[in-house]
Amino acid sequence: MKIAVAGTGYVGLVAGVCFAEKGYDVTCVDIDEKKIAMMRQGISPIYEEGLEELMQKNNERGTLHFTTDYVDAYRDADAIFIGVGTPEMPDGSANLSYIAAVSRQIAEVVEKDCLVVVKSTVPVGTNDKVEQFIKDFLVHDVKVEVASNPEFLAQGTAVHDTLYAARIIIGTQSREAEELLKKIYEPFGLPIVSVKRRSAEMIKYACNDFLALKISYMNDIANLCELVGADITDVAKGMSYDERIGARFLNAGIGFGGSCFPKDTKALKFLAREHGYQLKTVEACVDVNSTQKTRLFMKAKERMITFSGLKVAVLGLTFKSGTDDLREAPSIDNLKLLLGAGADVYAYDPKGEERAKALFPEGKTEEGTMKYVSSITEALKGANICFVFTEWAEIKAVTPEEFKENMHTPLVYDGRNLYHPAKMKEAGVEYYSIGR
């Protein structure tokens, strides 16, 4: 079976590589020639554990191909998976222009019956429009059906999440489409939940927004814990034993980021309002997360007279560990505030430096200075204050004594609750975290 994948971002590239790993003949399509050339050499454009190794393995096996020639890739494919971006518009809605562009390409070049499978996260009802759009522009006398197959990848574990998913969601409108999609996923040996197309689209949003709600709820409770003298880590531990709640997504911190939760909460909020309904829970989630990201900066601002001329160590730039992605990362909001306040920022991240440089070039700004360092010690040496934004293992391993010995003023604001407050106090570190 020949599979084509449109888009080589997190969704498309991981899907294509994993299909190739299961023995399919896969061609991944992208418009960026430099990116395609790099991937042909087995070099991944994104950092994701295990991804580059599988790319190289399947490149060598001849089951994985990369091209900018969509005509050759789509015209005789049995199934075409769409994994292009649906970025957030200023009003919170999803930008479907990339979906539309690929759909038209497919319509104009397919020469045999095929199944188009949308993996991109799209508003409910989009796939109905995609199917009609393709039919409107079909050049050849072929049958094209559209299915929904949302992804549930966590960045940092995307390959594992694809190969060992808890379930595969497929949304189809015909038995033929359902059977073909089931056949494609048969080698994975995973549970398949088959529903109608619109239900599949809604499942994606409902899942992501529920997890985002859980995070914002814990952050809200953490903020109250600070006011009443409770410890959010104790509260979370007590909650985790309740099977109805579960143990995951109970860690309080400085909010969620990444390519999914921020975009999907806003998109569902927009979709509801478009239909005359207000999703009050999701709207509250968005509001809580927005203020949570800079909560520690505001605490530090109350403590300091000024940030101007101070060396500020920043540990962690990516929105979570295990990825080089900075999209909607809390560090971005805080770096803007710190640099705007005249701070000299020394930032360390094991994977996110290059992407961060595109947003915050190294050097002196009108107010402060941005510098990237290659070690945690270099960031901390002589620092007046330290902010922790990402839970990388090497950052978590820093001891209270290291903060005390290296910093000019051992003042630490921890957005991930990585360290024990009593041990930090015992070492002589002035320490602030979330909800403790």
Question: Residues with Cβ < 8 Å from 10, sequence gap 6 or more?
Answer: 46, 48, 153, 155, 158, 259, 325
Q: Which one is catalytic: 28, 260, 285, 386?
A: 260
* Backbone φ and ψ of 418, nearest 5°: -85, -20
Distance CA 434, CA 219 (A): 8
Beta bridge partners of 66: 28
Structure tokens at 193: 């939940």
Beta bridge partners of residue 170, listed in sequence order:
194
* 417: region left, alpha or beta (phi > 0 left; psi from -120 to 50 alpha): left
CA distance from start to end of the chain: 55
Residue 190 burial by CB count (10 A; 0-12/13-18/19+): exposed, middle or buried? middle
Q: Measured between alpha carbons, how far is 126 from 30 in angstroms, rounded to an integer?
A: 22
d(CA 170, CA 188): 14
**Stretch (H or E) spanning 83:** none
221, amino acid identity: I
Q: Is 260 a catalytic residue?
A: yes
Catalytically annotated residues: 260
